[in-house]
């Protein structure tokens, strides 16, 4: 593509940011795959929490443990690639700063540095000797700028080669059944740069892979998850949330970054919805969610109004809903109740917690596997 230009040098800050973001995503996805591998072994040896015995069970357990041993080195390798990407981002930031410093030094001396990194004198000389001295000074600046830019270009090529080689090796480390989830480890989250970036000022191993991403299977519906799968999914979605916060947790946004920041914020809704659905499934299974206090025991026994709203609050449905037992298995031993509308829909009042505002949990029960929905109360959204 030819030598680097001034605009390409300036654009390397975005390349460095992409590498830092990719490093965070690799670490988060490595954690997801590692937990999935452990959950896979647990599910194969204890389906739905029940011990499996016999010759078939032994063969399945052996296969699961073999796959687990093959996947974990890939996870370690993904962490190594994340380290390369993180250090690479820091290296590119430093090399870019040095190149721009050399350009600034030339301009402070009264020279103009062009897009092609040429150095031109704008001052008129009073004598041939002065003109010669300025020409020599311009050549010194040009050579120093070229030296700094060459270091930046070499660092970029080195990082690209390491990531491209590491990505190819990573996919080859996985057993056949794990090729797709392990391939997911090397897929950074696509980002929209704040301004156009020349392809020379990017890490090609990253860009090329974005164009070749495989379509991942649809995630398992939380309501269909077994206890081990729900636990693994809870850890995974929290790891993704941590990675999201690292990527989008900005308190100050420049005007030219607003579009990219808005796109980043758009990812929050689906992530929160999946987190809430997995939390609800854990509650249905009677599993305590870490960070949530266990319900205080009631010395008088089950609470008669569990699931019912305070006075003055009614679900947004026609008619007068009737009080009846809650359908969730986890609510029956707790005396949970619900409001049932004339169409068979179930409304449960959720008082809120540190993640949610007060809202309705609603299930129309119009199909055998109908899903629960969060319905806002007033102007407050269900999620904080």
3-state secondary structure of 121: strand
For the stretch 297-324, pLDDT in tens is 444 444 447 889 988 889 999 888 999 9
What's the rounded Cα separation, in Å, for the pair 348 and 375?
Answer: 10
3-state secondary structure of 325: strand
**In whole numbers, what is the pLDDT of the chain averaged over residues?**
74
pLDDT of 172 over the 80 cut: no
Domain residue ranges of the chain, discontinuous segments joined by +:
6-124+134-175, 222-285, 304-383
pLDDT of 379 over the 80 cut: yes
Q: Which residue has the higher pLDDT, 330 or 75?
A: 75
Highest mean pLDDT: which range of 14-28, 255-269, 329-343 = 14-28
* pLDDT on residue 258: 57
Helical packing angle, 258-266 and 227-248, nearest 10°: 170
Sequence-distant (≥ 6) Cβ neighbours of residue 116 within 8 angstroms: 3, 5, 6
* pLDDT on residue 231: 76
Share of the chain above pLDDT 70, in %: 64
Sequence-distant (≥ 6) Cβ neighbours of residue 74 within 8 angstroms: 33, 170, 173, 174, 178, 182, 185
Report the relative pairing of strands 359-363 and 337-340 from DSSP bridges. unpaired
- Whether 31 and 239 have beta carbons less than 8 Å apart is answered as yes
- Whether 344 and 317 have beta carbons less than 8 Å apart is answered as no
What are the helix (H) ranges across 109-203? 128-172, 179-183
- Whether 326 and 348 have beta carbons less than 8 Å apart is answered as yes
* pLDDT on residue 269: 75
* pLDDT on residue 223: 75
Q: Which residue has the higher pLDDT, 119 or 2?
A: 119
pLDDT of 282 over the 60 cut: yes
Average pLDDT over residues 174-200: 42
| pTM for this model (two decimals) | 0.45
CA–CA distances in Å: residue 279 to residues 200, 226, 250: 45, 13, 26
Q: How confident is residue 192, by pLDDT bands cut at 50, 70 and 90?
A: very low
């Amino acid at each position: 593509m030819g030598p680097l230009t001034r605009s390409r040098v300036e654009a390397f800050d975005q390349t460095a940011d992409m590498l830092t973001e990719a490093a965070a995503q690799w670490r988060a996805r490595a954690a997801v795959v590692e937990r999935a591998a452990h959950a896979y072994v647990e599910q194969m040896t204890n389906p739905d929490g029940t011990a499996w015995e016999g010759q078939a069970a032994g063969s399945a357990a052996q296969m699961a443990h073999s796959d687990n041993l093959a996947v974990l080195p890939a996870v370690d390798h993904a962490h190594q690639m994340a380290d390369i990407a993180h250090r690479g981002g820091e290296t590119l930031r430093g090399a870019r700063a040095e190149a721009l410093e050399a350009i600034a030094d030339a301009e402070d001396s009264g020279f103009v540095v062009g897009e092609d990194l040429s150095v031109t004198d704008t001052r008129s000389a009073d004598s041939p000797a002065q003109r010669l001295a300025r020409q020599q000074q311009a050549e010194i600046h040009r050579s120093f700028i070229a030296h700094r830019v060459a270091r930046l270009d070499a660092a970029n090529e080195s990082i690209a080669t390491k990531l491209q080689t590491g990505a190819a090796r990573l996919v080859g480390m996985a057993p056949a059944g794990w090729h797709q989830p392990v391939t997911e480890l090397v897929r950074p989250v696509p980002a929209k740069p704040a301004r156009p970036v020349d392809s020379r000022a990017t890490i090609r191993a990253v860009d090329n892979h974005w164009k070749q991403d495989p379509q991942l299977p649809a995630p398992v519906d939380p309501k269909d998850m077994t206890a081990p799968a729900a636990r693994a999914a809870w850890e995974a979605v929290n790891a993704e949330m941590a990675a999201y916060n690292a990527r989008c947790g900005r308190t100050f946004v420049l005007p030219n970054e607003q579009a990219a920041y808005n796109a980043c914020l758009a990812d929050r809704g689906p992530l929160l919805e999946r987190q809430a659905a997995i939390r609800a499934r854990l509650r249905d299974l009677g599993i305590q969610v870490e960070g949530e206090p266990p319900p205080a025991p009631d010395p008088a026994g089950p609470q008669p109004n569990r699931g019912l709203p305070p006075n003055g609050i009614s679900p947004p449905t026609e008619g007068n809903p009737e009080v009846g037992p809650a359908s969730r298995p986890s609510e029956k031993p707790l005396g949970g109740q619900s409001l049932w509308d004339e169409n068979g829909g179930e409304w449960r009042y959720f008082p809120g917690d540190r993640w949610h505002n007060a809202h309705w949990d609603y299930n129309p029960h119009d199909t055998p596997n109908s899903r629960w929905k969060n319905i806002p109360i007033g102007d407050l959204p269900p999620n904080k």
